[in-house]
Amino acid sequence: MSETQPRRVENSIMRLALTSTELALGKNGYYAVLHMAGLDVYVETLPPDSHDLETPGEHFAALFNGMLTMYGEGPARGLFRRWGTIFGTTAIKRRPSAALLKPLLWVLPIQRRVRTVLDVVVDEANQARGAELHTLQDAIDHYVITFRDCLYCDGLHPAEPICYAIVGTLEAALKWGTGRDFAVREVQCHARGADACVFEVTKQPLHV
C-alpha cells in the first residue's frame, strides 16, 4: 500500500473487532482498553455494519496497542489468541456464504478443505483492507500466509512475534472448515523488524 494512501479498514471489520474485544475482556476491560487506546469515540457508537472502507487503519491498530499496554506482553499473547478465536468464529457466522460453503467443504479431501479455507481467509483479509496485502503460498509440508502492512502489530515493540490474534483467527477458521485442529505459528513479525508478518500452517492436522 502506497504511503500516500490512507490506511483504511472495512467498517464491519472494525465493528467486529470491537465486539470481539468486549467478549474477550468483559465490559469493564473493554471500556478501559478503549480509553487506553484513545478510542473513546467507540464507547457509545460502533462503526456502521457496512463494507465501506471508512475506518482509519490506525484505529484498528490502536485497539491491540491498548490491550498490550494494559495487560503486558506475556498475558497479551493468550488474550490475542482468544480474541482471534472469537473474531474468526463470529466472522464466519456473519457471512451468509459460509453456510453455503460448509456442505461443499465436507465432500472434499482434507487437504483440499484446508487450502479452500485459507484461500477464503486471505481473500476476506484483502477485501477488509481494500488492497492485495495478503498472500497464500504452497510449500512442501505447510502453507505460508503473508500479511503486509499488518495492523495487528503496527506500532508494537514486543520481545517476540505478537500476532496471536491472526493465529487464533486462522485456527478457528480451519476448525470450522475441516473439523480438525492445525498447527499455526508466526515465523516472522513486522513488529520484530521483518518486512511482513509470515505464518506457517501445517498441511496435516494435529493428532492424526
pLDDT exceeds cutoff 60 at 6: yes
The band of 2, judged by pLDDT with boundaries at 50, 70 and 90, is: very low
* Beta-bridge partner residues of 143: 138, 201
Average pLDDT for residues 78-105, to the nearest whole number?
88
Amino acid identity of residue 162, one-letter, is I
- pTM assigned to the model: 0.93
The band of 207, judged by pLDDT with boundaries at 50, 70 and 90, is: confident
The CATH H-level superfamily of 8-202 is H-NOX domain (3.90.1520.10)
Predicted pLDDT of residue 43? 95
Predicted pLDDT of residue 101? 83
Average pLDDT for residues 175-184, to the nearest whole number?
95
Reported as half-sphere exposure (CB side, CA atoms, 13 A), residue 170 has a value of: 27
pLDDT exceeds cutoff 60 at 168: yes
Kindly state the cell numbers that stand for 34: 478503549
Taking only the tens place, the pLDDT of each residue in 13-25 is: 999 999 999 999 9
Angle at 121 between CA 9 and CA 77, to 5 degrees: 75
Average pLDDT for residues 175-197, to the nearest whole number?
96
Angle at 10 between CA 26 and CA 126, to 5 degrees: 110
Taking only the tens place, the pLDDT of each residue in 14-59 is: 999 999 999 999 999 999 999 999 999 999 999 999 999 999 999 9
**Domain coordinates in residue numbering, the chain:** 8-202
* Helix, strand, or coil (residue 88): helix
